[in-house]
Amino acid sequence: RVHDSTMSAQFATQSIASLRARCATKPRATRSSVVVNASARPLWMPGSDAPAHLKGEMPGDYGFDPLELGVDPKDLSWYQQAELQHCRWAMLGLAGMVAPELLTSMGISNLPNWHEAPFYDGYFTDATTLFVVQMIMMNWAELRRWQDIKNPGSANVDPAFPNNKLPDGEVGYPAGIFDPLNYSKGDLKTLKVKEIANGRLAMVACLGCFIQYDHTGVGPVANLASHLADPANNNVFKAAFIGF
């Protein structure tokens, strides 16, 4: 019996030592691999699975496509360029909404609010002429951009002045004269993500400015100042509709 007890104790000791050795090596490798896989692809909803057609290759791709609009590669490429342009216009538009009102409120200038800009009579010509000229110029620029999307590189040469050329580059990021500060020579991947993130925020902000004006009849700077002065009473829950 003493011999059997001794053998059992040795066997138990060896089993515990073997189990400890396995726990000391295997779980650590598994834990690190799980952490790497989880942090390698940030998604819009943590723990969710990205659609198969969104592989994380595009700037700002967080696997968000609940309607599966980008299943077709051609459609996805078009949506990518459309979002990029909307982002850039929204950032410019938001600056155009805020800056004139801010400068006027500071007494630096006397410019119209964004919703009054079409009726402003201080331009160098009438609003109708400006609109027509803008439509013609924008049509030409957008057609050139559309051609570049369909056939990358086809719009790199100025049709009127052949000596004006853009370097070969990625669609949507022409560089050359459009990159005077040479940002494209730095960490362009990170800058692309930042541009998309700021552009998406600007699109939401522009929508907020439209809704705010319909509620209050004033611009974003006046709305912000009013809210900061009395947050309890001047907020979205107590705003009166003036357009409905």
Question: Model confidence over 128-149: pLDDT tens digits?
Answer: 899 999 999 999 988 988 888 8
pLDDT of residue 22: 56
17 pLDDT more than 70:
no
pLDDT above 90 (res 70): yes
- H helices of the chain, where? 2-40, 73-105, 127-150, 188-216, 220-229
CB 68 within 8 A of CB 51: yes
Residue 231 to residue 223: CA distance in whole angstroms = 11
- Per-residue model confidence (pLDDT) at position 9: 47
Percent of the chain surpassing pLDDT 90 = 39
What are the residues facing 165 on neighbouring strands?
157
Report yes or no: 118 and 127 within 8 Å, Cβ to Cβ: yes
What's the rounded mean pLDDT across residues 52-75?
A: 92
Contacts of 37 (CB under 8 A, 6+ apart): none
Q: Output 177 or 199, whichever has higher pLDDT.
A: 199
SS3 157: strand
* CA 86 and chain centroid, separation: 10
Tens digit of pLDDT for each residue in 21-49? Answer: 555 554 443 433 333 344 468 898 888 88
At residue 177, the pLDDT reads 77
pLDDT at 92: 96
Determine the pLDDT at residue 241.
53
Torsion of CA 180, 186, 187, 190, to 10 degrees: -10
Q: What is the pLDDT of residues 188-224, one digit of tens each?
A: 899 999 999 999 999 999 999 998 888 888 999 999 9
119, 225 in Cβ contact below 8 A?
no
Residues whose CB is less than 8 angstroms from the CB of residue 122 and which lie 6 or more positions away in sequence, other chains included: 112
Mutual angle of helices 188-216 and 220-229, in 10-degree steps: 70
Q: Mind listing the pLDDT tens digit for each residue in 118-131? A: 888 888 888 889 99
Question: For residue 21, what pLDDT is reported?
Answer: 54
> Could you tell me the two tokens for 241?
């509709």
Q: What is the pLDDT of residue 36?
A: 34
